[in-house]
Structure 1
Amino acid sequence: MPHSTQLAANFFRVACYFEAALTLVALALGWLVDIDPFANLVLDEQALLHGLLLTLPLLMLFFAMQEIPLQALEKIRTLLLETLGPRLYRNHWTDLLILAAIAGFSEEVLFRGTLQPWMENTLGMTAGLWISNAVFALVHAVTPLYALLAMLMGLYLGISLDYGGERNLLTPIVIHGFYDFIAFLVILRNYRNSL
């Protein structure tokens, strides 16, 4: 198997396992702090639709940031292209969909299903939202600007948890997964164009 094909296959497998393991972390943390990570996960058509619609503003910002000639944004684009491009290069779009779905599900179960409710119960709604998403930003801190953008996206996802008046974890799961899928496709396209 050629090196780039092996790299892509290994990355896909390891990334899926890593992201899926976050669900186990959410379950363990939930057990420790007496929070059911799935308590607010309801399979509901309205929450699914809300998730798809609420992804659109994020995608518009994402595509706008692809065009803004700001050095800090260029650094992020280059970093993503150089780190993810070769690893996604040999994957089919269905692989990217699977990875995005696992990441959206697992990260949201951990951050919005476990950490945010725990922080809200302990510190109040506002502080819980901010602190849980500060942690979300820290684990995504590949550059200072990327951490800030992750914090803002995390706040958006945290607020979307209650969109429509009923708390439903499905909404941020759909937003996160759909956003990641489109971002993966764009990174893959940009990498292929750079070859």
Structure 2
Amino acid sequence: MTDQESAGQPRRPSFTTMFAIQLGLAVLAVMLGWVFGLDLFGRIEFTLAALNWSVLGTLPLLLAGWWLFRSSWAWMRELKRLVQEMVTLLFRDAPPGTVFLVALLAGVGEELLFRGVVQGGLSGLIGPWGALLAASLLFGAMHALTRAYFVVATIMGLYLGLIYLWTGNLLIPILIHFLYDWVVLRYYLSADRAG
């Protein structure tokens, strides 16, 4: 038994496990895309405009997050506490570059799966708006640590899905997701070190 387990603290997953989970989502998305005949990589366009839109598209999420984190709502304080504990547990002693790599893999894997496979695959069956809603609800469910987190993640899924619907370029929600996760994880880690 480790010191962490004997002290009643939750066991931290290894960095290899975190990478494997995020990479596994990307592999799952590519496999499902292949099975269902979805050209995921054909929906990724590397352009300067896509990079610019990605940076600009990240700003509203960061501003909304900043506003929510500064709010005095009890549900938001509880969500912030929960996320702070989780980020600290997962990343406090992480080797350099771990946060960057996990955020990047989360952006790639989750967006290929939810925007590329679910939203892209369902749009031909239930229309673009139904597919957007289905992908967003599934995205929220995957992140549902609490009901509040489910709602916040579903709204983020709607935002990312709308951007994908508007641009048709999977690279943009991938980069927005990555940038948002990276900035927020760094924020929580710096708050942990300062506090």
Q: Same fold (TM over 0.5)?
A: yes
CA contact 1:85–1:187 (8 Å) conserved in 2: yes
Aligned to 1:105: 108
Aligned to 2:7: none
CA-to-partner distance for each residue in 1:11-48, whole Å, 9 max, x for gaps?
Answer: 32211110010011112222332212222011111111
Q: Are residues 1:126 and 2:100 paired?
A: no
Aligned to 2:8: none
Distance 1:185 1:92 in 2: 13
Q: Which amino acid aligns with 2:164?
A: L
CA-to-partner distance for each residue in 1:114-158, whole Å, 9 max, x for gaps?
Answer: 110111111001101101111111111111111111111001101
Q: 2:52 aligns with which of 42, 49, 53?
A: 49
Q: 1:39 aligns with which of 39, 42, 59?
A: 42
Q: Which amino acid aligns with 1:13?
A: T
List gaps (5 residues or longer) in structure 2: 5-10
Greater Cα shift, 59-68 or 178-187? 59-68
Q: Which runs of 4+ in 1 moved over 4 A?
A: none
List gaps (5 residues or longer) in structure 1: none
Q: Are residues 1:20 and 2:54 paired?
A: no
Greater Cα shift, 53-62 or 86-95? 86-95
Q: Are residues 1:173 and 2:178 paired?
A: no
Greater Cα shift, 72-81 or 168-177? 72-81
Greater Cα shift, 12-21 or 176-185? 12-21
Distance 1:97 1:186 in 2: 13
CA RMSD, 1 decimal: 1.8
Q: What TM-score, normalized to structure 1?
A: 0.89
> How many residues were matched structurally?
188
Distance 1:100 1:71 in 2: 28
1:92 Cα deviation after fit: 5.1
Distance 1:54 1:135, change over 3 A: same
Distance 1:135 1:79 in 2: 21
Q: What TM-score, normalized to structure 2?
A: 0.89
